[in-house]
Chains A and B, each alone.
Chain A
Amino acid sequence: MNFLRRTVLATAAAMALVPAAGFAQETIKVGEINHYKRMAAFAEPYKLGIELALSEINEAGGVLGQELEFIFRDDQGDPAEAVKIAEELMTRDGAVMLTGTILSHVGLALSSFAAEKGYLYLASEPLADSLVWKSGNPYTFRLRASTWVQAAMLAEEAAKTDAIKYATIAPNYAYGQDAVEAFKANLKRLKPEVEFVAEQWPALFKIDAGAEVQAIERAKPDAIYNVTFGTDLAKFVRDGGDRGLFDGRNVYGLLTGEPEYLEPLGDEAPEGWFVTGFPWYGFEDGTPGKTFVDAYTEATGETPKIGSLVGYMTAQSIAAGIEAAGATDTESLVAAFEGLTVENTPIGELTYREIDNQSTLGAWVGTTALEDGKGVMVDWEYKDPAPYMPSDEDITAMRPAE
């Protein structure tokens, strides 16, 4: 036990050095918490996107005349750890607000913590609908288009076909379940006669692709709705392609078109799937999207992922929010984020809705194809999320009384 005390004191001494190693007082700090190691494939492009935006913002004079700085911290994908780091960032490192996380459950933990302590939290990447709806709170804002909206866009397209019998495959956790529920609800509303003949739930990143493909084939569906991603998607596409599962069937893929998931598939990328994603290669010269892609490619030497875009827009949103607030205390910041408009983002003008603190970032939908041995999205369009949102009354009813 004696050792315990000594280590406590040693840490106190060690950590006293950390702020000293920081910069001068002329910066506004933002606490960014993410799973940089556990989700390296997603977190790295996201961080690069933030850094690009920061360099642009600070070159243009920073915010409120000061430099904007992000403090990046790794939470190991553990919600409890994230909450602890958040406390340190706010009380010790002098951060004015919090942002970050990819995994929804970590985002939900931070959101609850932010509301309890009265800190502002901008959830950048987590997709869970409950973040802004059922568990929404006045201190939490969210940037990325939610699961519900993206699934609704796919359901709208699916409803246009003759397919009646659907099979779904989704990773067995909250995101997968929400995604299937949202697709079913939207499709049934548009086309009540559809039926769901098979629902497959592989464990996340532990798919038994052969067995899943056989099980779907056995149900003889007309169309398939896919929510798997990452290595699960690669195995599913490979086994399904070999066994002819996708022949003559429409497939709808949530997030399948995002470069994070499509690029690793190489020349085995599926063709003819209708997906949501990020077709950066198709942006036309002179559009804000193309400007972002060029700047990112030049700065990093890599092609952008969807995470790059989200990271970039996160930093842009925060700069705009602080500028609009004119101060860095939480109350002014929260007030500024309510209905905040962010100019000149890669998708044009972005706003944070007052009703549920959700941003108006939409999603790109299109059809997958092979070009030069690589999977791409063709015939794509950017869709505004507004028509796919639940009604304002429904949202108000879902959100706990503010």
Chain B
Amino acid sequence: MAFLFAQFLTGLANAAALFLVASGLSLIFGVTRIVNFAHGSFYMLGAFIGIYLMEILPGAVGFWGAILLTGIAVGLIGAFVEMVVLRPIYRAPELFQLVATFGVILVIQDLALMIWGAEDRLGPRAPGLRGVWRIFGEPVPKYDIILIAITPFILFALWYLITKTRLGVLVRAATQDREMVGALGVNQAWLFTGVFALGSALAGWGGALQLPKGGADLLMDFNIIGAVFVVVVIGGMGSLPGAFIASVLISVLNVFGVTYLPQSTLVLMFVVMAVVLIIRPYGLLGREEVAGEHGQVGAPETPIRPYGPMGQALIAALLLGLALLPLFVDQFMLILTIDMVIFALFAASLHFILGSGGLVSFGHAAFFGGGAYAAALLVFHTDTPMELAFLFAPLAAGLLALGIGWFCIRLTGVYFAMLTLAFSQLVWSLAFQWRAVTRGDDGLVNIWPSEWLSGTETYYYFALILGVGGILFLRHVIHSPFGYALRAGRDSPRQAEATGIDVKRVQFVAFALAGAMAGLAGGIFVFAKGSVFPTELEIAKSFDALIVVFLGGVKTLAGGVVGAGFMTVVEDWLTRLEYWRLLLGLVIIAVVIVMPEGIVGTLRTLWRRIRNTDEETV
């Protein structure tokens, strides 16, 4: 009994930092609707700044004063980021801002490396709080007790701020209907900046408060972000009490998981999230998202139509150019182009459900990696001929998408995104942990194509035909009646239902098709690289695709393909430089600010404007 109680206390202590960071993220999302990937970076900044301040401020007063100052400092940094990076793009399509926050992550990572160096820092101890107190005979670190004691005060302070002050009233009003708040004369820009600063400050406090239990290192931004998103989603996006309950729930379950299922550390929280979302689709204390609440911003989209003769001629010329490429360039250029084709197909498959279906998936890598693994497993274990194994890649990925889609399709918006994330994480952990079959992160190696395909040039044509074929097929589907039904379901589900379209079933089929196409890309990938590792199933891989789709332009047809081409080239070029993450981050932020409709969208608008002016002058 005493042991169980001590474990419970450990869980509560762990919940403290998690709650601080998660509540900040939840606040920011609730008001600004920004999914802030960079939230982990503010947590990391909090840790580094906290150590710096604790080193110059002496004693107990210095320690707690340093924590307080850290939050303020990180809050100011957050306000700066909001004003410079995010304010220009609030009018962009939904979730577009997450690309900008991704750029911010890269910039902060390199800046932190420049300022604080690569070595891990151990956090200073809280003065007078080293050692343990014994509770029912079990040792409990003193600092844990302090954390447990102050968390309710923080929750109370936040609750007071939100429910009893004028600022809180405005924040709550903006959470419910930000257009109306703006219409009532509240300066939205400053409200958003203020909330973003407060959310960042909370993350900074979280980073500083955990110092006596850990420290500061350059990987901590990515290491916490998964857990924070899980907590926010389980609690319900935008709900502070929900974030509190969820962080306690996750932390306590984790402690018991460590003791009774030591192998579960990789997936436990994602399993919990999946279960919660399947039972309560909007989290424990979240409310249902009202359709149209924050979906469409800006002018309604013009109907799409197939390219005219000029467009078709350009595409044909491009394809001809690609087909003749081996005559002009060296071997490496072909390999880079193969990579580009694979990534373009992968991005196009995500773009298919995201752009035309309005389904934002955070877990699309499950199908790319799933297809790659399906083919690789066949070759590795049964020596299946490459041609047969290759066919299996899109098939298995499509089946996987059918399975995952069955659970996810019933949700919408960010909750759909998070459930796909949870499932992709489950697939990842399966590949990672089931070593007897998948060899874990030693990966499956020596998966090379058959003799007749093994030359770089031959494989280039193989990848080109299948990759381009896949992309053209997806475009064709978008222009077919099925594609129209899919877009009807995205733009106006009720009207679509009324005209006899089974929206959920159409989305389900589209999801499976996108999965199969991602699997096809995975199949081309695995035989091009000769090996596959769980990294291909990671969250980062899903986000790669997501970012290029947004970068290319969600509301365009070529967005995924162009974004993928742009990203492959920019990355290939920038990673040669010392501080490439800083530069890549700045490039992403610049593109996002200059081209809020994505590369293709902005070019299209520009083209129209030029043409119109021409017509006027004529």
Q: Which residues of A are interface residues toward B (Cβ below 8 A)?
A: 1-5, 7-8, 10-12, 14-15, 18, 37-38, 40-41, 44, 73-81, 83-84, 87-88, 91-92, 104-105, 108-109, 111-113, 115-116, 128, 130, 135, 172-174, 177, 198-203, 205-206, 208-212, 214-215, 218, 230-231, 234-235, 238-239, 242-244, 263-266, 268
Contact = CB atoms under 8 A, between A and B. Distances in A.
A290 to B, nearest CB: 24
Contact of B575 (A76, A112, A238): A76
Given A109-B529, A128-B442, A264 B120 contact: yes
Contact of A3 (B109, B336, B562): B562
B290 to A, nearest CB: 36
Nearest to B558: A1
B88 to A, nearest CB: 23
Given A1-B315, A12-B329, A173-B432, A208 B255 contact: yes
B576 to A, nearest CB: 7
Given A108-B443, A231-B215, A242-B131, A41 B119 contact: yes
Given A41-B118, A218-B259, A230 B217 contact: yes
A205 to B, nearest CB: 5
A200 B262 contact: yes
Nearest to A113: B530
B263 A3 contact: no
B154 interface: no
B442 A211 contact: no
B333 interface: yes
B480 interface: no
Contact of B113 (A40, A81, A104): A40
B307 to A, nearest CB: 9
B214 A214 contact: no
Given A37-B113, A79-B529, A4 B122 contact: no
Interface of B: 3, 6-7, 10-11, 13-14, 109-110, 113, 118-122, 130-132, 139, 141, 144, 213-215, 217-220, 223, 227, 254-255, 258-259, 262-263, 265-266, 314-315, 318, 321-322, 329-333, 335-337, 339-340, 344, 432-433, 435, 439-443, 445-446, 448, 525, 529-531, 533, 535-536, 558, 561-562, 565-566, 569, 572-573, 575-576, 580-581, 599-600, 603
Nearest to B603: A3
Contacts of B439: 174
B230 to A, nearest CB: 12
A231 B217 contact: yes
Given A116-B448, A214-B258, 19 more contacts: A1-B561, A3-B599, A4-B340, A4-B344, A7-B569, A12-B333, A18-B576, A37-B581, A79-B529, A88-B336, A115-B446, A174-B440, A177-B440, A206-B265, A209-B213, A230-B217, A235-B214, A239-B141, A244-B139
B327 to A, nearest CB: 14
Contacts of A92: 330-332
B258 A212 contact: yes
A195 B109 CA distance: 44
30 contacts: A7-B565, A7-B569, A37-B109, A37-B580, A38-B219, A41-B120, A74-B576, A74-B580, A79-B535, A80-B529, A83-B531, A87-B332, A104-B441, A105-B442, A108-B531, A109-B445, A112-B446, A113-B529, A135-B445, A172-B263, A205-B217, A205-B219, A210-B14, A211-B10, A215-B262, A234-B120, A242-B131, A242-B132, A264-B119, A266-B122
Contacts of B218: 40-41
Contacts of A135: 442, 445-446
B600 A3 contact: yes
A231 B122 CA distance: 8
A284 B580 CA distance: 41
Contacts of A87: 331-332, 335
Contacts of A206: 223, 227, 265
A116 to B, nearest CB: 5
Given A91-B332, A242-B131, A264-B120, A201 B318 contact: no
Nearest to A131: B442
Given A1-B558, A112-B446, A130-B442, A210 B10 contact: yes
Contact of A172 (B113, B130, B266, B336): B266
The 6 closest A-B CB pairs, nearest first, are A40-B118, A112-B445, A4-B565, A211-B258, A210-B10, A211-B255
A81 to B, nearest CB: 8
Contact of B442 (A7, A44, A108, A202): A108
A206 to B, nearest CB: 5
Nearest to B526: A80
A172 B433 contact: yes
Contacts of B535: 77-80, 105
Contacts of B533: 79, 105, 108-109
A15 B65 CA distance: 52
A375 to B, nearest CB: 11
A233 B254 CA distance: 19
A173 B340 contact: no
B215 A8 contact: no
A3 B602 CA distance: 13
A40 B529 CA distance: 26
Nearest to B433: A172
Contacts of B13: 210
Contacts of A199: 262
B141 A210 contact: yes
Given A105-B533, A201-B265, A264-B122, A1 B318 contact: yes
A84 B130 contact: no
Nearest to A82: B529
B6 A214 contact: yes
Given A172-B265, A264-B119, A7 B440 contact: no
A244 B141 CA distance: 10
A8 B6 contact: no
A8 B139 CA distance: 62
B144 A210 contact: yes
A214 B3 contact: yes
Given A80-B529, A209-B213, A7 B566 contact: yes
Contacts of A41: 118-120, 217-218
A113 B445 CA distance: 9
Contacts of B336: 11, 84, 88
A378 B213 CA distance: 28
